Amino acid sequence: MKEFYFYTEGLTVGYHGVPLIKNIEIRLKRGEILTLIGPNGAGKTTILKSIIRQLAPIDGVVWLDGGEVRKLSGNEFSKKLSVVLTDRVKPELMTCEDVVATGRYPYTGRFGMLSQEDWGLAHEAMELVHVGELRDRDFTKISDGQKQRVMLARAICQEPDMIVLDEPTSFLDIRYKLEFLSILQRMSREKNLSVIMSLHELELAGRISDKLLCVKGDKVDRFGTPEEVFTPGYISELYGMTAGSYDEASGNLELEAVKREPEVFVIAGNGSGTALFRRLQRDGISFAAGILWENDLDCPAAKALASEVVTERAFCPIGADKVERAKKLMDSCQRVICTLDLEGTGEWTRELKGLVGYAGEIGKLEG
């Protein structure tokens, strides 16, 4: 196991001697990012608590940099691993600068005095996560999102080899969510920092993670790269989805389709139709769509939301049978909408222009 910086063997976690998740096998190299995903209550936080020694494992061993985690002294452990759990930090009469600077305590002497270098590292960490302007603010009086970024600065200031985070983006708006994860990714690349975290945002987990660990029931259901985990239909199965859909390839999450005979036919493509598909769904209007290449940007949303989608194999000419099916659907619909700008003389464009012309002939073309 020398190639792995962090790994577990036969790890079983739970409470009061009752196993919750059994035989957890994690393998993580230095500088890799691992994200835990799964339904609420599946046990992701329990796994993280067992890794950071908040909770004693029921069975198995956790290894960090060649040593058993349970045997490391508190100081050794703090120098190798830092934690971002805002709900556990309730400092009184401490500024944000003070909170960040506590990340240097594993390196201070027996009197806990911070050097100028320690303060410099604290300030550097605060600037890195864009909380320098909060330096003199009372930590208890800033927003949850600001607290989360201050705690990340504290973890960075600690100069660990690994950071563990539990739902770190929960209180962040979209700007700071992306900034937060970008900082983690940059540090994993530039400083060889290993990261273990849990996330609810599947699309972000799929983009930032080197490895994913999927928790389901009393076991780890899958462990691997995003490409190995996000296979068609798996996320619906993992979360027990009963409404709507998730497309693993695109990361699109869609609400439930309107299940009636289509009222509208949409001629779309190149991503031009997705916004309309969603508007029709919001308005409770059923629709059909086509003709789309199977790899078209509009295809995931169309397949999730339309009553029927007429598709053709990627980069192939449109077959006569597909044209006929599209026309039959137009005949049965009340109106036809084209979202494409059909300029050009290519074969595909000519066929779609023909469909637009047919919609005009039968008096159903809108706009």
User: What is the average per-residue pLDDT within 237-263?
Assistant: 89
Is 60 exceeded by the pLDDT of residue 88? no
Percent with pLDDT over 70 in the chain = 96
Is 70 exceeded by the pLDDT of residue 182? yes
pLDDT at 345: 66
Give me 95's structure tokens. 């500024």
Tokens 């029927």 label which residue? 308
Rounded CA gap, 289 and 309, in Å?
Answer: 5
Is 90 exceeded by the pLDDT of residue 265? yes
φ, ψ dihedrals at 268, nearest 5°:
-140, -175
Question: Could you report the per-residue pLDDT of 15-45, keeping only the tens digit for each?
Answer: 999 999 999 999 999 999 999 999 988 999 9
Per DSSP (E only), the strands in 16-147 are 18-24, 27-28, 33-37, 59-64, 67-68, 81-84
Rounded CA gap, 2 and 30, in Å?
Answer: 11
State pTM to two decimals.
0.84
Question: Which helix (H) or strand (E) is 208 found in, with range?
Answer: helix 202-208
- Which residue has better confidence, 92 or 120? 120
pLDDT at 1: 64
Tokens 């659907």 label which residue? 329
Q: Is the alpha carbon torsion for 67, 69, 70, 76 positive or negative?
A: positive
52 HSE (CA, 13 A, CB side) = 21
pLDDT at 74: 87
Radius of gyration of the chain (CA): 26
Q: Is the peptide bond before 291 cis (omega within 30 degrees of 0)?
A: yes
Read off the DSSP letter of residue 138.
B
Question: Could you report the per-residue pLDDT of 122-170, keeping only the tens digit for each?
Answer: 999 999 888 999 999 999 899 888 888 899 999 999 989 999 999 998 8
Nearest to residue 296, comparing CAs of 277, 282, 280?
277
User: What rounded mean pLDDT belongs to the chain?
Assistant: 91
Question: Could you report the per-residue pLDDT of 272-307, keeping only the tens digit for each?
Answer: 999 999 999 999 999 999 999 999 999 999 999 999
Is 90 exceeded by the pLDDT of residue 113? no
Q: Is 112 helix (H, G, I), strand (E, B) or coil?
A: coil
Of 54-58, 82-86, 321-325, give the lowest mean pLDDT range: 82-86
Nearest to residue 69, comparing CAs of 183, 172, 161, 145?
161
pLDDT band at residue 353 using 50, 70 and 90 as cut-offs: very high
40 HSE (CA, 13 A, CB side) = 1
Angle, vertex CA 267, rays to CA 262 and CA 268, nearest 5: 115
Of 86-90, 188-192, 241-245, 328-332, give the lowest mean pLDDT range: 86-90
Single-letter code of the amino acid located at 191: K
Nearest to residue 211, comparing CAs of 65, 6, 37, 35?
35
Residue 55 neighbours by CB distance under 10 Å = 16
pLDDT at 331: 96
- Specify whether the CB–CB gap between 13 and 43 falls below 8 A: yes
Residue count (the chain): 367
pLDDT at 172: 85
